[in-house]
Each structure stands twice: as structure tokens, then as C-alpha cells.
Chains A and B, each alone.
Chain A
Amino acid sequence: MIQALAFYLFAGVVIASAVMVIMSRNPVHSVLWLILAFFNAAGLMVLVGAEFIAMLLVIVYVGAVAVLFLFVVMMLDIDFAAMRAGLVKNFPLGIAIALVLLAELLLGLGAYGAGGLELGTPDGAAMTNRPGVSNIEAIGALLYGRYIVLFEIAGIILLVAMIGAIVLTYRGTKPGSRSRQDVGKQIRRRPEEATVMKNPEYGKGVDL
């Protein structure tokens, strides 16, 4: 009873907020609706007992990705009315993407109706639902055992992407420019080097 109520609540909010993402006129509102959609998707994950995935969804998507997204949308002063003007031009492309998504959805539903994929174990036997093994342990055993090579490859791709982003945006500092700071030098500086005690006579200035 409660499970069903919770499911329809989460699912309903996911769909409603997903619709609002594309319907709302203000891009910041769109991002906030997207965050609500992510969050409720995490709720759905909890309902099917995948609490680890749910937490990862919140930490990674809501906590990191969406924050940066929100940053960009807030900081950029984009004229969204001008962007919407290209609707007619981009209409065929949009329709094509929508059709691909629809086909994928139908294919996925068909596959699910046919029984879905059988999860296997490293020794080839079908995966049995072992009680007492938590989400984290199960995912960890798969990720760091069977799929360790794929995992490492994904890690290296991300590392290369990160270094690439840094190299592309790094402008370098000119020697002697003021934006370059030597923290050690700053800390080593003593008051005696920076300040001078002067006791000027009345009416006379200080000659530095």
C-alpha cells in the first residue's frame, strides 16, 4: 500500500518535473526542475532496494553536476528568446531525436517484456539473488572483479579528459605578473620588513 503510494508519488513527480524542464521559460527554473527530477529518480531507486545507486545519483548528479549546470546558467546572460527563434529551423532534427528516443524506449520495453537480461556471475552461472549481500558489496564485487579492465579504462578516459580541459583553458602566467603568488614567501614575510616606525614632528610630513 505505502510502497504503491510512494511509487506513484515519485514517478508522478519525475514525469511532471521532466515536463516542466522543457516547458518553463526561465532556464534557471528548468535546471531546478531537472534537479527535482533527479532527486525523485533517486527516490524510485530506493524503492527498488538499490539504495547505493540512489545515493550516488544524489551525490553525483544533484550534488555536483547540477550545481555546475546551475552555475553556468546563472552566470551566462543568454538571450533565450533569440535561441527559441531557431525552433522552425531545428524542428526536423528535434523530431529525429524524439523518434530515436521513442524507438529505444519501445525496444527496451519489448526486451523487458521478453524477460530481460540474465545477469551472470564470473563463473558463468546465472546470478542468483543472494540475500544478505548489500548493494555496495555486490556492485564492488562486480566493478573491481569482473569489470576491472573496463573500470580502469573509464578512469583513464576521465583523467585524459580532465587534463585536456586544464590544458585547453590554462593560459599560463607571465613571469613577474602579480597574479602569481608564492605562499611561502608571503608567510615568511615579517612585520619588520613591511612596516617602518616613524615619529614625525608636528606639522611635518613623513619622508619615506
Chain B
Amino acid sequence: MTAAADPVGATPMNMLSAINHTLHREMARDDRVIVFGEDVAKSGGVFRATDGLQAEFGATRVVDMPLAEGVIIGSAVGLAASGMVPVPEIQFLGFAYQAFHQIAGQLARLRYRTDGRLNAAVTVRAPFGGGVRTPELHSEAIESQLANIPGLKIAMPASAADAKGLLATAIRDPDPVMFLEPLRGYRAVSDPVPDGDHLVPFGEARTVSEGDDLVIIAWSYMVEIARQAADRLRTEGVSVQVLDLRTIVPLDVEAIAAAVERCGRVVVVQEAPETCGFASEVIATINDEAFYSLEAPVARVSGYDHPYPVGMLEDDYVPSVERVLAAVRRTLEMAP
């Protein structure tokens, strides 16, 4: 469900343009919003996500930082404690390992340990994910590691409209949000983006395509893979729902349960390695909420349990439409 407060129309754009457009809007809306990171200011970011911000908002609000992820996040905590609304960029999510001491040790728990006296209203933007020939640490999906840190919210849009709506919500949210952007979708995913103020609430999954034989649950770019698989299956007479979680923290437990109750068969798709990936949490949630609606074991389609591969081998690592189709077919063939 998308809440468009000001539905004056929509403009087609890709995810990258939607993100850039939203940063412009949010900076214009609230002068406490400040953008900083590696190469984000003068150069407008290595993917151009922050293009034009410094020209419009000046060098004290859009700042190039040292290549030092620890202090990019650490200083965001101090900025937030001083009443600012920092929107730092981590150039690639894999670089966030260099900042885990600040993310897990400071950012996520500032509110808890001050009993609500301090908020970390920080939105950390970070692109991630494979399929664009970037090497290992530039590609890996580490959302489940972040989801295991209480205090963080995690938004993972799959469409340009959601990139706008979730980013605006993230920036206006008083809690720290990890806003994870699919590299592969930056230019490849394009759809109509509502004009004007557009906010997508956290914790509300989106049904991308309707169906009732099986539900594919996915997030970020894997939603696009799932959608392509569902389109293919539809031509074969199989009706597949695709559920885009949009935010994994908070998680839309009700939407997951409702989809499982209706379809009875489930495939969960994630880009991360299989072990302890967020798919495991989705499956545990299904066990808790809708176990008796299952007609077959829940299938997972994941990356594999090894470091992200370099070069052309990534095509065998990142879940493909073919692998999703195979998992769907296996699941449909199982007797209830």
C-alpha cells in the first residue's frame, strides 16, 4: 500500500533518479538534513546519487569525507545528538564492515542506553548487491547482519516509487535507518514515481503481483527476479503472488502470514549467503504465524555460503530467474 499524500501525478524515473530527487526534496524541506560521505559532494557520488546537492545546498551541508567509514557513521551519531538529521552515504554496503563498531556499538543503541533522551535520526544510504561486475566487498548483501542489531530499521526498496517513499520516510524517522539500495536496480528499475510528497510507511509489504498457487517473498532487487519468474509461470497457468517486504525491520508479519494462509506454498529469495540470511527469519516467522497453512516445506533461494565471487562467476551466485523457477516447481510438485 502506497500512501500518496499529494497525488498530483507521477513521473517515470529510475531508482537512482528517484533517490537523487528525494534527497533534493528532503534537503529543501528540512534544513537540518545534511549529506556526507566519500565523493558525494563535489563529484556527486560514484553513482551520481547525490549529484547536484552541493550546488544547490552548499558545501557546509553536502560534504566530502575522508575514506573512513568509522567516522562517517560515528560523526553522524554526534550530529544527531546535536539535533541534526544526517544522511551519510557508505559508498558500498560491504565497506560498512569498517564502520560496524560505530553502527552496532553506538548508532543502534544510542536511544536505548539513554532511555530515550537521545535519538539517532540517521539515515545511512548504502548501495549493495551483485550483477553489475563489482568485486566482492562492493557487492555483498549483509542485511541479515544488520537485522541482528536491535535499534536499526532496515529499508530495502525494489521500485523507484518505493525508493522515493521509503527514503523520505527514513529521513523523517527519528530512529536510525539503514537504507539499502540495489546497485543493479539503480538504472535497470524504472517506474512511475508519485510527484509531490510521497511517503511509504515502514513495515507494510507490497504485493507486486497477485496469485494464489504460491507466494514468492523477496526484497530489494530479488523482487524483480521474483516478478520475472512469476510472469513466466503465469504463461504456464501458475498463479504466483510476489510479496515485496520493502522493510525487513520492521517486518510486516501480518502480510507474510496472510500470503502463506492463502497460497500454502512459499519460496523465499535472498541475495545473501544462505546460512543465517534474512530468509531464515522469514521462515521462522512463517513457522510461528502460519505453520498449519503450509502445504509444502518453505524453499529458499540464496547466494551460497562462500565469500562473494569475483568476475563472471557471480552469475552463478546471485539467484537467477531460472533458480527461482526451479524452486517454485519443486515446491509445487510436493504433495500437501
A, B in one complex? no
**Residues of B that sit less than 8 Å from A by CB:** none
A interface residue numbers (CB < 8 A to B): none
